[in-house]
Structure 1
Amino acid sequence: MVNMRAMVIQSPESSRLVWSYNFNQRIMKTLFIINYWKLVLLLAIGLSCVSCNKFLEEEPRNSTYKEVYWKDPKAGESAIAGNYALLRNALMDGFYGVGNRYYIYGDMTPDIYIGINRDSYSHPEIGKGNWTSNYFAQSYGNWTVFYKTIAMSNIILKEMPLVSNDILILEQTDPEAFRKKIMGQAYFIRAFSYFMLTRIWGDVPLVTEAYDDPINAPHLGRTPRIAVMKQIEEDCRHAIGLLSWGYKTTAERAVTANRGSAYALMAHLYLWRATTADLASNTPIMDDVTRADTTINTLLAQGGYTLADTAKYADVFKGRSSEGIFELNVSENTLEGSSAHIGMKFLNSDYIPTYAATADFFTKPAYLSSHFYKIEEKEDWVWHEDIRQWVWETVQSRGLDTLDVRFKNNFVNYTSDKPVCIKYSNIVFRNPGQQLEPYNSNNLILFRLSDIKLLQAEIALYQNNPGRAITIINASRARYGADPSSLLKPGLTKTEVMKEYIIERGKELYLEGHLFFDMIRTRTYSDHITWLSEARFKQGGFFWPVDPRLFSENRLLVQTAYWRGKI
């Protein structure tokens, strides 16, 4: 098996972007083997102008194999399958036995959510805002995996329009509709990849061309994030124009990008751009807020998504539920479960017999008490300093709301100092008789309806309408059976409602990769991220440093501004 961390990427356009230990071997014979989609091997060989020791070893760089591949009527289908496989790999990549980078960026970066019992790579430092460790820089600071995905999208977008209908008709009843569907998904995957890149690193190289000659591909520096976000918007619009609502088959549901997926991404993009285009300002760009509002309204009206039955809450995270908008397949039904999903780090021997009695990761009690709260009242004597006497009156205190469906389904051992999160505990044993070879079978949920509906509360707050935001937040809490005392009262200030909005997002989207970005977007980071000061925020100190090895063969790349001189 190819060493994923030391390999040279297949795609021509990324050969100038990504690191290599020996870049003078940039055309060396490697193959990115993806078991998930076997046919993409041919694409990787044929279109990257890179040969492999096992396949086509003597194939010259100027071969016509590319033309042969795209004359296969199944080529487009195989290529887009490979594109999804690369995206899944990008999001689920991470140190062995530690977890997936998607959750590291979105959930471990704040210091309130995840506690660590055992870890050989200093991951507790991530929650302290210290990302200078070689472990972090060389893994989470390396964007190679995202550019592999982008490279595949670029190849598809270049080659698919050139495939004739005469070829496609051999497999497709409607060649033109098929072509649009493949290209629309490629645009979406490229847009999503760049959205991840710009939220993590800010300015990033922008590559939208598939170069035929990797040797002469231009060196590229970091493109300002405003231009990157403009490209994401354009790609989303292309995807919307090419894709349709709904799905042709149940097998496609949520795991195949459609028009709704592109609308969800665009809504998130508009809110991110509205609030991070100028880090020195706390005033959102209202044109983008309005665009987000319009986009969400269209998605809700035409998407056909419905909130899942809370009685079957756990099924949402198995995947393909009625509220799934876009997710990546991690299902053991197709033998694509994960043995390294971050959810497994939270499980102990009660769920996987070969594991220790204490899980590697745990949910921090401070998260549970600050998010799942109820207001309790009792009569007691209270000392009033102003009148210097005791007064018998009603006293309010906070207790733990154990009635909320999300609490009941996601957490056990919550009275201990190391609560167990079972949100992703759909474990399938490939050796069920001995309960060995455990694989997580929970899809990687990226966009779902509950997330989008909550964004409407954020939009209402930017529009100075806290009353509407309160209604949306209360509807979410009531739906999950939260204690009535947690419902917000009318008359709260916009700041007070925004804090509760982030609390509700934290309850709804715990371990779904959104929460750190939510806090950045809403400027509520000071409530939950002790290491992020206002000064560091304005310097872009929440963006990650870039792996210094990426600079070895590209003189135009520079380190993220905040981290220059620190790594």
Structure 2
Amino acid sequence: MKRFFLNYRLAVLLMLVFLLGSCKKFLVEEPVNSTFAGAYWKSSGDLRSAMAGNYALVRDVMNSGNWNPSPRYFMYGDAIAKNYFTIQYNGDGLEGIQDGDFTFQYNVENFGDWTKYYKAITMSNILINRVPKVADDLLTDVTNPTKFKNEMLGEAYFLRAFTYFMMLRVWGDVPLVTEEYDDPISAPELARSTKKEVMAQIEKDALLAHELLPWQYSLVGNAKVTANKGAVNALLAHFYLWKATMSDINSSQPDLETVDKADKAIDEILNNGMYSLTDTSNYYKTFEGLSSEGIFEIAMSENTREGTNQHIANMFLRTAQLATTGTNSRCYVNADYLTNHFYKIDQVWDWYWNTSLQQWEWKAMPSQVFDDSDIRCRRNFTDLNSDKATCIKYQNVVYRNPSQKQDPYVSNNLIVFRLADMRLLKAEIALYRNQVSKAIDIINEFRKRNGADESAFVDNTSSKDDVMYEYIIERGKELYLEGHIFYDLLRTRQYSNFIPWLSESRFRQEGFYWPINPALFKNNNKLTQTSYWRGKV
């Protein structure tokens, strides 16, 4: 393919590869056997099929990795923060990223390659360009053609904004492609646009999506797994907080005007009332998908034959949860993560040094000890007595050959945005506004709701810095393995407490961004390597 742009015919060919199969699935529609430009855009079904292809391409972005199960969405967002879990050696060098070395050959070739993102962006560009051109009289099975087309456009703008937002957090500066090119040969070679320009485009697209999309879904089966106004607001909340804190990495003071925009987006979600926290008695329902608190998810349910054997769960689950795996999983939960996040304060007898008497004393002192009373500890992890605990947050395994427990597929949607995430972000916003007591209340509400020992509640006399640390601890419990941890640590500047390889000096050099695969330079002379990685890759 010339440069990194997709010819729209090639984009649809790729889309149809994804779409082969049953028309009962959300991400799968019956392929249209016709030329794309000449005959495709002539019915509501054509538009829905194209949109399903757009979602399928975004799913492929998030769920792809190397030849081992290693979904990039979690490698970028979670695995880099080494203190949360460990990736064991398996011949692909993936464990190298946990020490801050992104230069292993297979990591650069797979996780340094943004081609899949641009395939998804190209599909969005096609929809944005072509949907308005479809004549209303062709949409005979749609009650309100204008409303229908607006929703199609809104979803396309959302997916383009979301895709660029994922790229922004991984690479920083990326080329901006917002046009549909009929011929990739004539498409211009584009340099990497600045982060400021990329953020401006994300905001523009998201606000257009916000204007075009309703809260309610036109089709019941589209709930949660397609974009609505709630999904747009959740994206805007994360985007604005990233923009407020990461536009100037030399400052630890967020831009409060932008923080206010994030707060407004979250308030729209909370005030709408269509989302509610899942009852803790149905804890796993949240992560199977389509729960009351889900805002936006990627469809991966076996109910519609869309389960996957490339889920992040495949890196963690062992024989007890997934019959076809062994007892030694690729990843395990660090013991330090468990003791640092799930604890209570107890009297611990030990030898303590008395500085005034200059001698050791045997006595009881209040100390932090591991405690599994929090439901997020009891339900998310097993093998707690070993030094390699297992994460079972995603364990909805369905065997397509159930009698022999063969051909397993993980049937957990990929949870992108949910209500608990939004409510916790309010604590971060409160801290940026120096509303420390408000942040404490939010954190303690989560600990109370999930059954944590009262001794683990944040004390009302805690300093702002201490509360920010406890906030990150709380997000690390609530959103473990949901693709947020690394970005949370960067935004809040708490990375030094949890990522050994990320020094302040490297942070200032933007050494948290990924290099790009040098193979991408071959057909685009205007591309340059990520600044930190020049001369290293």
TM-score range, shorter chain: over 0.9
The answer on 1:440 being equivalent to 2:427 is no
Taking a change above 3 Å as real, the CA distance of residues 562 and 378 of structure 1, as seen in their structure-2 partners, is: closer
> C-alpha separation between the residues in 1 aligned to 2:503 and 2:361?
40
TM-aligned CA deviation for residue 79 of structure 1: 0.8
The answer on 1:151 being equivalent to 2:125 is no
> C-alpha separation between the residues in 2 aligned to 1:415 and 1:440?
26
State the match for 1:87 in structure 2.
58
State the match for 2:106 in structure 1.
135
The answer on 1:304 being equivalent to 2:274 is yes
- Secondary structure at the counterpart of residue 126 of structure 1: helix
TM-aligned CA deviation for residue 205 of structure 1: 0.4
Q: How many residues align?
A: 529
Structure 1, unaligned runs of 5 or more = 1-7, 9-14, 48-65
CA RMSD of aligned residues (A): 2.1
Q: Structure 2: which amino acid aligns with 1:172?
A: V
- Deviation string, structure 1 residues 198-226 (Cα, Å, up to 9, x no partner): 00000000111111222111111100011
Given that 2:294 and 2:418 are in contact with CA atoms closer than 8 Å, whether structure 1 keeps it comes out as: yes
Q: Structure 2: which amino acid aligns with 1:515?
A: I
Given that 2:71 and 2:310 are in contact with CA atoms closer than 8 Å, whether structure 1 keeps it comes out as: yes
Taking a change above 3 Å as real, the CA distance of residues 274 and 188 of structure 1, as seen in their structure-2 partners, is: same
> C-alpha separation between the residues in 2 aligned to 1:72 and 1:318?
33
Taking a change above 3 Å as real, the CA distance of residues 482 and 255 of structure 1, as seen in their structure-2 partners, is: same
Equivalent position to 2:230, from 260, 267, 279: 260
TM-aligned CA deviation for residue 374 of structure 1: 1.2
> C-alpha separation between the residues in 2 aligned to 1:117 and 1:415?
19
> C-alpha separation between the residues in 2 aligned to 1:39 and 1:250?
17
State the match for 1:196 in structure 2.
166
State the match for 1:343 in structure 2.
313
> C-alpha separation between the residues in 2 aligned to 1:520 and 1:40?
43
TM-aligned CA deviation for residue 467 of structure 1: 0.9
Taking a change above 3 Å as real, the CA distance of residues 562 and 350 of structure 1, as seen in their structure-2 partners, is: same
Structure 2, unaligned runs of 5 or more = 21-26
> C-alpha separation between the residues in 1 aligned to 2:350 and 2:57?
61
- Superposed, 1:519-538 pairs within 5 Å as 519-538=489-508
Given that 2:276 and 2:292 are in contact with CA atoms closer than 8 Å, whether structure 1 keeps it comes out as: yes
State the match for 1:111 in structure 2.
82
Q: Structure 2: which amino acid aligns with 1:474?
A: N
> C-alpha separation between the residues in 1 aligned to 2:365 and 2:10?
72
TM-aligned CA deviation for residue 351 of structure 1: 1.7
> C-alpha separation between the residues in 1 aligned to 2:441 and 2:163?
34
Equivalent position to 2:69, from 68, 90, 98: 98
Q: Structure 2: which amino acid aligns with 1:69?
A: Y
Given that 1:94 and 1:140 are in contact with CA atoms closer than 8 Å, whether structure 2 keeps it comes out as: yes
Given that 1:305 and 1:323 are in contact with CA atoms closer than 8 Å, whether structure 2 keeps it comes out as: yes
Equivalent position to 1:34, from 18, 24, 41: 18
> C-alpha separation between the residues in 2 aligned to 1:274 and 1:198?
14
- Superposed, 1:352-431 pairs within 5 Å as 352-378=322-348, 382-388=352-358, 394-431=364-401
Q: Structure 1: which amino acid aligns with 2:4?
A: L
Given that 1:411 and 1:420 are in contact with CA atoms closer than 8 Å, whether structure 2 keeps it comes out as: yes
State the match for 2:483 in structure 1.
513
Given that 1:31 and 1:41 are in contact with CA atoms closer than 8 Å, whether structure 2 keeps it comes out as: no
The answer on 1:208 being equivalent to 2:178 is yes
> C-alpha separation between the residues in 1 aligned to 2:370 and 2:362?
25
> C-alpha separation between the residues in 2 aligned to 1:42 and 1:524?
50
- Secondary structure at the counterpart of residue 495 of structure 1: helix
- Deviation string, structure 1 residues 131-168 (Cα, Å, up to 9, x no partner): 01110111000001111111000000000000011001
The answer on 1:275 being equivalent to 2:245 is yes
> C-alpha separation between the residues in 2 aligned to 1:216 and 1:119?
43
TM-aligned CA deviation for residue 460 of structure 1: 0.6
- Secondary structure at the counterpart of residue 49 of structure 2: helix
TM-aligned CA deviation for residue 96 of structure 1: 1.9
> C-alpha separation between the residues in 1 aligned to 2:30 and 2:461?
57
- Secondary structure at the counterpart of residue 119 of structure 2: helix
Equivalent position to 1:286, from 232, 237, 256: 256
Taking a change above 3 Å as real, the CA distance of residues 343 and 379 of structure 1, as seen in their structure-2 partners, is: closer
State the match for 1:461 in structure 2.
431
- Deviation string, structure 1 residues 229-248 (Cα, Å, up to 9, x no partner): 11111111111111111334
> C-alpha separation between the residues in 2 aligned to 1:187 and 1:118?
40
Taking a change above 3 Å as real, the CA distance of residues 214 and 117 of structure 1, as seen in their structure-2 partners, is: closer
Q: Structure 1: which amino acid aligns with 2:54?
A: N
With 93-102 and 135-144 compared, the bigger mean Cα shift is at 93-102
- Secondary structure at the counterpart of residue 127 of structure 2: helix
State the match for 2:4 in structure 1.
17
State the match for 1:234 in structure 2.
204
> C-alpha separation between the residues in 2 aligned to 1:477 and 1:16?
50
With 385-394 and 174-183 compared, the bigger mean Cα shift is at 385-394
Of all paired residues, the percent bearing the same amino acid is 46
Q: Structure 1: which amino acid aligns with 2:3?
A: R
Given that 1:34 and 1:40 are in contact with CA atoms closer than 8 Å, whether structure 2 keeps it comes out as: no
